[in-house]
């Protein structure tokens, strides 16, 4: 990389000019700001003391040395204590020519020294279908895993299915009471949707009972605890943990309905997992660890037999780990899951992709694991992301006020189809091909709209805005890729072969496009370090926007100079591949025609 060359030359300059040695920590090389002339900027303030000159004089002196000793530098200028270096066109042309395997641009292969990283995402409950919030979770987790892998890590995608607990028993109990043996087949409904309906029904009937108790004069908080439905659900949970055969059989049947529904949605979204864990398995290990620590006096037990952790020395409160009836809480299963995963993978880092409403939970999880003697807990990272909201506000699963993932995907496809018809883009295509392109466009629009936003920020989702063919959208970038493929097909039809050429004059716009290609690998590494697909998204938009300006300003196929024509085709081809590579990290397909 040119930055490494510049760093070594800078060390030579300081040694020769000032008879001093500098280390890498003192070297600051960054991309030159757009308002200044140059490609890379060296911050010279750390060397002013060594030079015993002003910042401007120091920069001028170092610039003169680098210009005459570094063939990659063609010019420089000084702005106060900043040395702006202009990299020669020959360097950029040679770089482009050397990209023989353009399909691997931006991707690093793992080595024996690579880190093993687990990425957990999705984490659905088996009492309801996936909704818009789950879409952000799945898309973010899948993309982060792809980016970490592209950065050279060994990555494993994991999922924890929350398939046990009081919320699961609520949907089971409601089906048992009011389901009349209905099945997904008899209802002609996806299994996760059917089970979700009974979760909503439970809440509806539960509220009726609360209101009835309050009407008798009972305090509302007490009524919530004393409502018969809740007590029945709690009893069902106790039976489940006692492995009651009837309860377990109903639980297995309804969960199987949900899993089949989830698989359909995952396939639509284009996400997958290397391993799926189930809370019904991992909570047992969590309970074992809790009881072990209780015997070792790391935890304590109250008179009602509930087990707690005292976290006051860490500035927190007391945390419940086992209820008085012996049933486990979420934290217990997360302890078990983390230990099981470390046993399975011996990971260096573990990324939990979970919404920011669970910030406290994961802070406590790390502390508890360390209390239990697992120092690798320091390597757990909570990728805390913001919620997805609608113009009308937040979603509420219990009340059925959510945007269902399947419904949203169908709506996106319908919108993409309507827009393509309106624009007349696919009029001459075969119906099946047009349908595939509309689906690809719809999913690209949805994924890009979600992933272009910094994970920490809340998203206000607008389906219509996301599918626009102009501006910072997925379809705009997909259309840019399709435009490049059309250009390359026309070149092939005209029997024009092409390769990168040296010793030609290139414009500033062409040079800037090569610089963007060069920058892609750095963007991938930064996105991996920050767990941020937004960096990939916005880089790709910048590349697509710059290419479209280049395409508008130049006529590639009618270029009279054959060497320049071949160069422009090579540049276009490489940009297309970078767009494809970048979008693959976001889980987005790019169509060859649009």
Q: How far is CA 54 from the centre of its chain?
A: 46
Say how far apart CA 424 and CA 237 lie, in whole Å. 57
Contact by Cβ (8 Å): 128, 161: no
Report d(CA 127, CA 402) in Å as an integer.
14
> 307-310 and 300-301: which strand pairing?
antiparallel
Taken in order of first residue, the domains within the chain and their CATH numbers are: 2-87 (3.30.1360.70), 121-389 (3.40.50.620), 423-585 (1.10.730.10)
H or E element that contains 141:
helix 132-150
CB neighbour burial string for 363-373, b if at least 16 within 10 angstroms, e if fewer: ebbbbbbebbe
| Nearest to 96, CA basis, from 486, 566, 489, 557 | 566
Name residues whose C-beta falls within 8 Å of residue 300's C-beta, 6 or more positions apart in sequence: 294, 307, 308, 309, 310
> Is residue 42 a contact partner of residue 62, using CB atoms and an 8 Å limit?
yes
CA distance 49 to 270: 56
Task: State the pairing for strand pair 459-460/40-43.
Answer: unpaired
Positive or negative CA dihedral for 317, 372, 337, 171? Answer: negative
- Cα dist from 59 to 45, 102, 590, whole Å: 9, 37, 46
The four Cα atoms 501, 504, 509, 510 give a dihedral, to 10 degrees, of 0
pLDDT in tens, the chain (594 residues): 899 999 999 999 999 999 999 999 999 999 999 999 999 999 999 999 999 999 999 999 999 999 999 999 999 999 999 999 999 999 999 999 988 777 888 899 999 999 999 999 999 999 999 998 899 999 999 999 999 999 999 999 999 999 999 999 999 999 999 999 999 999 999 999 999 999 999 999 999 999 999 999 999 999 999 999 999 999 999 999 899 999 999 999 999 999 999 999 999 999 999 999 999 999 999 999 999 999 999 999 999 999 999 999 999 999 999 999 888 899 999 999 999 999 999 999 999 999 999 999 999 999 999 999 999 999 999 999 998 877 665 544 444 457 889 999 998 999 888 888 887 777 778 888 989 999 999 999 999 999 999 999 999 887 777 887 788 999 999 999 999 999 999 999 999 988 877 889 999 999 999 999 999 999 999 999 999 999 999 999 999 999 999 999 988 999 999 999 999 999 999 999 999 999 999 999 999 988
- Secondary structure, 3-state, 182-209: CCHHHHCCCHHHHHHHHHHHHHHHHHHH
User: Angle 279-295/330-345 helices, nearest 10 degrees?
Assistant: 100
Element (H, E) at 353: strand 349-355
Check the CA dihedral 219-221-224-225 and report its sign.
negative
- Chain mean position to CA 529: 12
d(CA 478, CA 565) in angstroms, rounded, equals 24
- The residue among 419, 451, 420, 456 whose CA lies nearest residue 533 is 451
Residue 576 DSSP SS3: helix
Distance CA 211, CA 88 (A): 77
What sections of 52-102 are H helices per DSSP?
A: 55-69, 89-97
Biggest distance spanned by C-alpha atoms of the chain:
92
Q: State both tokens at 461.
A: 């989702």
CA proximity to 154, closest of 114, 182, 181: 114
Q: Provide the 8-state DSSP code for 112.
A: T
| DSSP element (H, E) containing 337 | helix 330-345
Cα separation, 506 vs 460, whole angstroms:
43
Residues near 35 by beta carbon (within 8 Å), at least 6 away in sequence: none
What does R_g of the chain's alpha carbons equal in angstroms? 29
Q: 122: alpha, beta or left, given left = phi > 0 and alpha = psi -120 to 50? A: left
**Other Cβ atoms closer than 10 A to 152:** 18
Residues 6+ apart with CB under 8 A from 131: 395, 397, 402, 403, 404, 405
């Amino acid at each position: 990389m040119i930055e490494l060359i510049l760093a070594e030359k800078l060390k030579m300059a300081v040694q020769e000019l000032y008879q001093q040695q500098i280390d890498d920590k003192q070297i600051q090389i960054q991309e030159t700001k757009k308002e200044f002339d140059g490609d890379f900027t060296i911050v010279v303030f750390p060397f002013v003391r060594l030079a015993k000159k002003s910042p401007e004089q120091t920069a001028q002196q170092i610039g003169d040395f680098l210009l005459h000793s570094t063939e990659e530098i063609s010019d420089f200028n000084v702005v106060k204590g900043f040395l702006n270096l202009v990299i020669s066109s020959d360097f950029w042309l040679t770089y482009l020519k050397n990209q023989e395997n353009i399909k691997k641009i931006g991707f690093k292969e793992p080595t024996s020294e690579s880190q093993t990283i687990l990425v957990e995402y999705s984490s659905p409950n088996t009492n309801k279908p996936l909704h818009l919030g789950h879409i952000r979770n799945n898309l973010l987790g899948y993309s982060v895993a792809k980016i970490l892998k592209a950065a050279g890590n060994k990555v494993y995608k994991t999922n924890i299915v929350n398939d046990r607990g009081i919320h699961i028993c609520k949907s089971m109990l409601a089906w048992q009471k009011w389901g009349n043996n209905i099945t997904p087949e008899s209802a002609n409904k996806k299994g996760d949707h059917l089970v979700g309906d009974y979760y909503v029904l439970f809440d509806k009937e539960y509220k009726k009972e609360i209101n009835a108790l309050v009407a008798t004069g009972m305090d509302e908080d007490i009524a919530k605890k004393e409502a018969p439905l809740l007590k029945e659900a709690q009893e069902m949970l106790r039976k489940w943990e006692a492995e009651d055969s009837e309860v377990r059989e109903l639980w297995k049947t309804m969960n199987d309905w949900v899993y089949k529904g989830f698989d359909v949605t995952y396939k639509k979204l284009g996400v997958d997992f290397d391993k799926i864990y189930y809370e019904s398995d991992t909570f047992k290990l969590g309970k074992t660890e809790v009881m072990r620590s209780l015997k070792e006096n790391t935890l304590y037990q109250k008179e009602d037999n509930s087990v707690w952790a005292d976290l006051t020395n860490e500035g927190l409160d007391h945390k419940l780990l086992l209820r008085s009836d012996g049933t486990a809480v979420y934290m217990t299963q997360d302890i078990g899951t983390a230990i099981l995963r470390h046993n399975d993978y011996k990971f260096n880092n573990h990324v939990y992709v979970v919404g920011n409403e669970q910030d406290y939970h994961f802070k406590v999880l790390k502390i508890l694991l360390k209390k239990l003697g697992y120092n690798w807990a320091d390597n757990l990272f909570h990728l805390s992301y913001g919620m997805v909201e609608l113009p009308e506000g937040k979603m509420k699963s219990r009340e059925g006020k959510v945007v269902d993932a399947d419904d949203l995907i169908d709506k996106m496809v319908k919108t993409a189809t309507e827009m393509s018809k309106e624009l007349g883009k696919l009029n001459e295509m075969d119906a099946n091909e047009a349908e595939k392109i509309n689906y690809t466009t719809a999913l690209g629009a949805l994924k890009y709209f979600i992933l272009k936003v910094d994970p920490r920020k809340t998203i206000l989702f607008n389906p219509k805005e996301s599918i626009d063919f102009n501006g910072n959208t997925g379809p705009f970038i997909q259309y840019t890729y399709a435009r490049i493929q059309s250009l390359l097909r026309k070149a092939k039809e005209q029997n024009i072969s092409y390769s990168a050429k040296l010793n030609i004059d290139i414009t500033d716009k062409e040079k800037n496009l090569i610089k963007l290609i060069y920058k892609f690998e750095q963007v991938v590494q930064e996105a991996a370090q920050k767990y941020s697909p937004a960096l990939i998204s916005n880089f790709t938009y910048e590349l697509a926007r710059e290419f479209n300006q280049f395409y508008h300003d130049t006529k590639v196929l009618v270029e009279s100079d054959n060497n320049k024509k071949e160069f422009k085709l090579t540049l276009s081809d490489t940009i297309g591949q970078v767009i494809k590579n970048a979008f693959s990290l976001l889980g987005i397909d790019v169509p060859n025609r649009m």
